[in-house]
Amino acid sequence: MKMRLELFLLVTAAICAAGKPLSKAEGRNKLLLISFDGFRWDYDQDVDTPNLDQLAVDGVKATYITPPMLTMTSPSHFTTITGRWVEDHEVVHNMMFNTKTNQKVPHKQTLTRSEWWDNGALPLWITAQNQGLKTASFFFPGGGANYSGQAVDRVLVEMPGHLDDNETEWRQNIDTVMSWFTEEDFNLVTLYYGEPDNVGHAKGPDHPDRKAIIRQIDRTIGYLREAIDRHHLTDTLNVIITSDHGMTTVKKRPLVDEIILNKYLNLIKLASFEILDYGGFGILTPRPGKEQEVFDALSNAPNLTVYKKNEMPESFHLGKSKRLPPIVIVADLGFNLNSRFIVYVNKGDHGFHNGEMDMKTIFRAFGPDFKTNFLSEPFDSIHIYPLMCKLLQIEPAPHNGSLAVTEKMLLHSGGSQRAQVSVALLLLLMFAVL
């Protein structure tokens, strides 16, 4: 009888222990988020990429993921890091602009302008820091701004003129990030590379140089995995590799008639503000009383779709934006929006409808919390945010993502499931003994 009582107490204690949730700090792994700008979802399919292939075996691969509208660098990256649609985070363009003063700030300079980024949607860095974590941004868009006066703990911002394709620097940046994790105990680092976007724009997605840069990225991923091993981070570091949008070949004469918007409406007379000549996506503010005239004129233009901001499809998640001008133009795939002349020399571009396969991008993940050999269904990039919060064991800020979409790729969706199994086994044991 005494022995039975002892056993009963032991089992009861074990059940209590199993049912107890893991303490916050216990079992929390680190997270590295890497973005390769403009990595179209299928760029690895016509190039030999042994390291990317191995990642799919050792971790998680999504067939592709869908970026938000707008398929542009800053808007899309900020959706990934906030889990908010563009209409909510309001980073509606790569360039900071003011429709009243006609001021336009180039992309690289916009990266440090807090007034462009800080609109109430808190990026993951800040939310994690407010819960006691240490975070860093290495060139990641949005990392260079302050949010309600709060900066990211460690920030490196890409300077104008920075060369994006230096493989030696790519490796040095990985070494730097590894030392942040091991020597300074950072919990979250976001690391950004400007390729293959540059090559995609300059040479087009089908050019041999694009394939060469994918091989370079593949070698870099091989280097990353060696570095993780060398720094003994294999069992404690989760890695997500993704991107902001795809890339498509720009259609040019004599193949097509390029779009010149001034052929359909007098831009000077009808518009007070415009950002055109910027890939497949354009915005403009009609002069007072001219909105319908602008809309009608553009409705007659071929190879594009014109939207009034407040009548855009719900799926764009742009209509609520206060910043976006009243008229939004999305060109058909491969058509650039030229305003008056064809000054645009890009051979590849993005900014087109996110339903187009050429705008889809990549998602890979590996590390202690991820399943291996797991092929995920395609999903919207907005769902990466709750996944990252789950991995870091932090309370997410309000967001538009859904953990249910991305949680399937995790080995154990939290400690609770394991605890339940333990309780069940112990109860079984208890009944068997008693």
Local structure of 295: helix, strand or coil: helix
Closest separation in Å from C-beta 200 to Zn ion: 7
- Under 8 Å between Cβ of 338 and 40: no
Give 195 or 197: the residue with its C-beta nearer to Zn ion.
Answer: 197
Tokens of 340: 């008056």
The Cα–Cα gap between 171 and 222 comes to: 10
Residue 276 Cβ vs Zn ion, minimum distance, rounded to whole Å: 16
The stretch among 192-200, 222-230, 315-323, 380-388 that binds Zn ion (CB under 5 A) is 192-200
Cα–Cα distance, 361 to 248 (Å, whole number): 12
**Catalytic hit among 73, 82, 110, 127:** 73
Look up 101 and say whether it is catalytic: no
Report how far residue 277's alpha carbon sits from residue 129's, in angstroms, rounded to the nearest whole number.
Answer: 39
Q: Minimum Å distance from CB 344 to Zn ion?
A: 13
Contacting range for Zn ion; rule: CB under 5 A; set: 136-144, 194-202, 254-262, 327-335: 194-202
Of the two residues 348 and 367, which places its CB atom closer to Zn ion in the complex? 348
Q: Identify any residues that bridge with 379 across adjacent strands, giving them in sequence order.
A: 65
Cβ 286 to Zn ion shortest distance, Å: 28
Of these, 153, 197, 358, 380, which contacts Zn ion (CB under 5 A)?
Answer: 197
244 part of the interface to Zn ion, by CB under 5 A: no
Q: In angstroms, what is the minimal distance from the CB of 350 to Zn ion?
A: 6
Q: How far apart are CA 410 and CA 414, in angstroms?
A: 9
**3-class SS of residue 318:** coil
Of 120-128, 195-203, 227-235, 421-429: span binding Zn ion (CB under 5 A)? 195-203
421 Cβ partners below 8 Å, 6+ apart? none
- Give the amino acid at 395: E
| 61 within 8 A of 364, measured Cβ to Cβ | yes
Minimal CB distance to Zn ion: which residue? 197
Q: Which of residues 105-124 bind Zn ion (CB under 5 A)?
A: none
Residues 71 and 69: their CA atoms lie apart, in Å, by 5
Stretch that binds Zn ion, among 47-55, 193-201, 228-236, 337-345 (CB under 5 A): 193-201
Which residues lie near Zn ion (CB under 5 A)?
Answer: 197
Q: Which of the residues are catalytic?
A: 73
